[in-house]
Amino acid sequence: MSTQSDDGRELTFGAAIREALAEELRRDPTVFIIGEDVAEAGTPFKVLQGLVDEFGPERIIDSPISEAGITGIGVGAAMTGMRPVVDIMFGDFVPLTMEQMVNQAAKVHYMSGGKLRVPMVLRTTLGATRRSAAQHSQSLHALLSHIPGLKVAVPSTPYDAKGLLKTAIRDNNPVAFFEDKMMYQLKGPVPEDEYTIPFGVADIKRQGRDITIVATSSMVHVALGAAERLESAGISAEVIDPRTTSPLDRNTLIESAIKTSRAIVVDEGYERYGVTAEIASVIADGAFYYLDAPVKRMGAMDVPVPFSPALEDLTVPTVDTVAETAKSLCGRT
Amino acid sequence: MTEMAEDRAARQGKGLKLDVEPYLHMYQQMARIRAFEEKVNELYTGAQMPGLAHLYIGEEAIAVGVCEALAPQDYITSTHRGHGHCLAKGASVDRMLAELLGKEAGYCRGKGGSMHIADIESGNLGANAIVGGSAGIATGAAFSAKRLGDGRIAVCFFGEGALGQGLMYEVMNMASLWSLPVIYVCENNHFNEYTHFSESTAGEITARPKAFGIHTETVDGQDVRAVYETMARLVERVRSGGGPVFLLCDTYRYRGHHVGDIDRSYYRSKEEEQEWMTNRDPLKILSGWLVDQGLADQKIFDQIAAEAKEEIETGAEFAINAPYPDISEVDQHVYAE
C-alpha cells in the first residue's frame, strides 16, 4: 500500500488537486495557471474554484479558447523562467496542443544540447461513461506517453494526485497530467503534512499471489473491485498502479508478474497501440520464463466513444469484465 | 588598430555630421551573414554538411536591422532560415558552423543542426523547423518578461508562409489582450517554399494583425537603415509598455527554398531574381548610400568582405576539425535534471 502517513483527513480527488496547486502557487511565485475558465469559473469541474481569490487574475489566467496558443505561450514562458500550469479542459482537446507538446515542449531541451528546458505542466482529463460522447470522453494519455521528452502522470487516488501534481510542477520537464473527470468527487486520505510522490515509482494498491492486475487512473478502482470479487472466488489478485506511464516503473511490474505468473493490464485508453500494449510488452519481456499465461490487455474498445449509455458502457473495462478475464487466465471459467 | 578602424577614425576626425560607425557595423554584419551562407552553400554542395540548408541570402537587412535595435538580453525566436538571425543576435561563426556539421562544439552539441540553433547567452531561444512554430515561444517569453518585470522584449521572426498557421493568430490575440512586449517580424520573401505568397494569402497581410488591435508597420526589408530606424522606434514603444507590434518586411530569397532547390523556373523567373540581386540588394543599397553621402568608399566594403570571409574560413576550419559528439551523447538531454 501507499507509504502515506494517515492523519485521518480525507479530501476529494478534486480538492487534492486544488490543494496541490495552491501550495505550489504559494511556494513559488513563478507558478501560474492559464486556461479556459480557470479563474472565476474554476473550470467546469470546479476543481480550481477559489484559487483566483487567493492568487489573483495575474496568476490564475482566463485565456481565450486557444489550446495551441496557451500551450505555446506556456512553453515559451517555461523556457524563460516561469512554471506554467496549462489547463486543457478536456483530454479530447489535447490534439489541439500536439504540435506545441510534441515538436516544441518535448524537444527543446534535447535540441538545444541541454541548455534550454521547459518546466511546464499540462493538466487535462480523461475517462468515459460521463455521457459526453466522442469528443469529450477519450483517454489520450498514450499519445503523449509515446513522445520522448515528455512525462505523463495518471493518478488514481486523491493522495497520489496531490503528491504527483506537486512533483510535476517542480519537475524541470514538460509533464502531462491526466485526471479522470469521473474521479473528482472520489474521497480518500490526504494528510495535512507536505509530501510529494516521485515519478516512475509504481504503487502496489493491493497485495496478491495469483495474478497481477496492472491498472491506471480510474481503472485502478475497477481492478480493486475485481480483486475483491476474485478473492471470494479464491483468487488472490495483486493490483499495481504505475502512477506515471512515462517514466514507467518496469521493475515493479515485472517483479509482480514473476511472483504471480499471470498478468492483466487495464487502461482506459484505446486498446490498439495503447498503454496496455506497452506495459504488456514490458511484462512479457521481463517475466517471460515465469508466466503461465499470455499477458492479457484490456483497454477501451477501438471505437469512437458512443453517446448512448447503452453503448458507451460496453466500451470500457468494468469490474465484471476484468474479474471474468482474470478468472479465465487462472483457469477458473 | 586595424586599417579599417584607422580609416573610420580618420573619417570621424574630419567632423562628419553622420556617425558612420553604426552603418559600417550593420554592413559588416550583413557581409558576415552573406559570407556565412555562401560557405554553407559550399560545404553543403561539397557534401561536407549533412541535412538541409535554407539560405538567408538576400534577406540580411532584416536580421541585422532588427537585432541592432535590440538589447543583448532581449529574446528572439527564429526559423528554419535562421542563420542570419543567429549571427545578427550575437552567435559566433565557429560554434554555429560546428553545429551545422553536427559537431560537439556546436551550440547544441550537434543535436540541433541548422534548423535548431539556440544560443541562450545571446537571447536566442532557438530556430524552429515548424513554420510558425515559435510564435508561442516568443509570445511566452514576452509573457515571462512582463511577469518578471525584467525589461526584456521578444522578437518573433517568421516568414510569410507562417501566416497560414492558426497558432500565429491565437498568440497575437493574447499578446494584444495582455499587452505583451513582443514584436512579430514577418519576413515576406514572397515564397511559401515553392509557391508565391499571393496564391496562399487572402486579403492584406497587415489587416490580420490590425484586426487584433496590434500596431502594424511596413518597411522595405532590403534597406537596413529603414529596418533599423523603424525597429528602434518600435522597440522603444514595446519596451515602454505599448503592447505588441507587427512589422511586415518586404524582401526576397535569392536562392532556392533550400540548397538543393536549383530549378526554380516553375515558380519564378531568372529575370525577377536578377532584378532583386542587381537593384534591390541590401548590401549594395547600404554601400551605395554611404558612398553617395561621402561617408565611405568601395575600399572599405572590400575590406569588410575580406575580413568576413577570413572569419568564416577560420570558423569553417574549426568546425571541420572539431570532433563529433561521443556516441554516449545520444540519449543524454532527453530529460532535464
Dihedrals φ, ψ of A179, to 5°? Answer: -115, 130
pLDDT digits (tens, 9 = 90+) for A114-157: 999 999 999 999 999 999 999 999 999 999 999 999 999 999 99
Q: Give the pLDDT score at B312.
A: 98
Provide the β-strand partners of residue A246: A152
Chain B residues close to A99, C-beta within 8 Å? 130, 133, 167
CATH number, domain at B84?
A: 3.40.50.970
Average pLDDT over residues A227-251: 98
Q: Which strands form B154-159's sheet, in the order they lie side by side?
A: B75-77, B154-159, B182-188, B245-250, B215-220
| CB of A110 less than 8 A from some CB of B | yes
Q: Give the pLDDT score at A73.
A: 98
pLDDT digits (tens, 9 = 90+) for B150-191: 999 999 999 999 999 999 999 999 999 999 999 999 999 999
Residue B216 inside a domain? The answer is yes
| CB of A167 less than 8 A from some CB of B | no
- Taking an 8 Å cut-off on Cβ atoms, the answer to whether A68 and B167 are in contact is yes
Query: Counting one residue from A and one from B, how many pairs have CB atoms under 8 Å apart?
Result: 149
Average pLDDT over residues A287-293: 98
Report all structural domains of chain A as residue ranges with CATH numbers, in order of start: 10-189 (3.40.50.970), 203-329 (3.40.50.920)
Q: Give the pLDDT score at B255.
A: 96
| CB of A299 less than 8 A from some CB of B | no
| CB of A157 less than 8 A from some CB of B | no
**Does the pLDDT value for residue B10 go beyond 80?**
no
Amino acid occupying residue A39: A
A195 against B1, higher pLDDT? A195
Min CA distance, B297 vs chain A (Å)? 42
Q: Give the pLDDT score at A332.
A: 85
Residue B305 inside a domain? The answer is yes
How many angstroms from the chain centroid is the CA of residue B238? Answer: 20
**Does the pLDDT value for residue B67 go beyond 90?**
yes
- For residue A1, name the pLDDT band (cuts at 50, 70, 90): very low
Q: Give the pLDDT score at B14.
A: 52
- Taking an 8 Å cut-off on Cβ atoms, the answer to whether B335 and A109 are in contact is yes
pLDDT digits (tens, 9 = 90+) for A4-38: 567 899 999 999 999 999 999 999 999 999 999 99
Q: Give the pLDDT score at B241.
A: 97
Min CA distance, B108 vs chain A (Å)? 4
A247 against A2, higher pLDDT? A247
- For residue B16, name the pLDDT band (cuts at 50, 70, 90): very low
Percent residues over pLDDT 70 in chain A: 98
Chain A residues close to B171, C-beta within 8 Å? 66, 69, 72-73
How many angstroms from the chain centroid is the CA of residue B337? Answer: 32
Residue B117 inside a domain? The answer is yes
CA A164 to CA A190: how far, in whole Å?
A: 12
CA A287 to CA A254: how far, in whole Å?
A: 6
Expressed in angstroms, the distance from the first to the final Cα of chain B is 46
- Taking an 8 Å cut-off on Cβ atoms, the answer to whether A119 and B171 are in contact is no
pLDDT digits (tens, 9 = 90+) for A265-284: 999 999 999 999 999 999 99
Average pLDDT over residues A300-314: 97
Chain A residues close to B135, C-beta within 8 Å? 72
**Does the pLDDT value for residue B8 go beyond 70?**
no
Residue B220 inside a domain? The answer is yes
Chain B residues close to A58, C-beta within 8 Å? 147
| CB of B51 less than 8 A from some CB of A | no
Q: Chain B neighbours among A 40-59 (CB < 8 Å)?
A: 58
- Taking an 8 Å cut-off on Cβ atoms, the answer to whether B167 and A103 are in contact is no
Average pLDDT over residues B51-62: 96
Establish whether A146 is a catalytic residue: no
Q: Which domain holds residue B221?
A: 20-320
- Taking an 8 Å cut-off on Cβ atoms, the answer to whether B144 and A82 are in contact is yes
Residue B335 inside a domain? The answer is no
In order of A30, A86, A316, B77, B139, the CA distances from B144 in angstroms are 9, 14, 42, 14, 9
**Does the pLDDT value for residue B11 go beyond 60?**
no
Average pLDDT over residues B117-133: 96
Q: Give the pLDDT score at A204.
A: 98
Q: Which of B125, B135, B140 sits opposite A116 (nearest CB)?
A: B125
Q: Give the pLDDT score at B157.
A: 98
Average pLDDT over residues A55-81: 98
- Taking an 8 Å cut-off on Cβ atoms, the answer to whether A114 and B147 are in contact is no
pTM of the predicted model as reported, rounded to 2 decimal places: 0.95
pLDDT digits (tens, 9 = 90+) for B69-108: 999 999 999 999 999 999 999 999 999 999 999 999 999 9
What mean pLDDT, rounded, does chain A reach? Answer: 97
| CB of B328 less than 8 A from some CB of A | no
CA A200 to CA A151: how far, in whole Å?
A: 10
Give the ipTM.
Answer: 0.95
Min CA distance, B166 vs chain A (Å)? 9
Min CA distance, A167 vs chain B (Å)? 13
- Taking an 8 Å cut-off on Cβ atoms, the answer to whether B140 and A148 are in contact is no
Q: Which of A68, A74, A173 sits opposite B335 (nearest CB)?
A: A173
Q: Which of A30, A113, A148 sits opposite B112 (nearest CB)?
A: A113
B16 against A83, higher pLDDT? A83
What mean pLDDT, rounded, does chain B reach? Answer: 95
Q: Supply the DSSP string of B76-104, one letter for each residue.
A: EE--TT-HHHHHHHT--HHHHHHHHTT-T
Chain A residues close to B143, C-beta within 8 Å? 73, 76-77, 82
Average pLDDT over residues B285-290: 98
Average pLDDT over residues B5-17: 51
- Taking an 8 Å cut-off on Cβ atoms, the answer to whether B137 and A72 are in contact is yes
Percent residues over pLDDT 90 in chain B: 94
Q: Which of B108, B139, B335 sits opposite A76 (nearest CB)?
A: B139
Residue B333 inside a domain? The answer is no
Identified catalytic residue from A136, A141, A146, A221? A136
The alpha-helical segments, DSSP class H, found in chain A are 13-27, 51-55, 67-79, 94-98, 108-111, 141-145, 158-170, 219-232, 250-260, 275-286, 309-312, 319-329
B132 against B11, higher pLDDT? B132
Q: Give the pLDDT score at A207.
A: 98
Number of domains in chain B: 1
The alpha-helical segments, DSSP class H, found in B76-213 are 83-89, 93-100, 135-148, 166-177, 207-211
| CB of B116 less than 8 A from some CB of A | yes
Q: Which of A186, A121, A193 is nearest to A152 (CA)?
A: A121
Min CA distance, B141 vs chain A (Å)? 5
Residue B14 inside a domain? The answer is no
Q: Give the pLDDT score at B17.
A: 59
H/E segment holding residue B225: helix B224-239
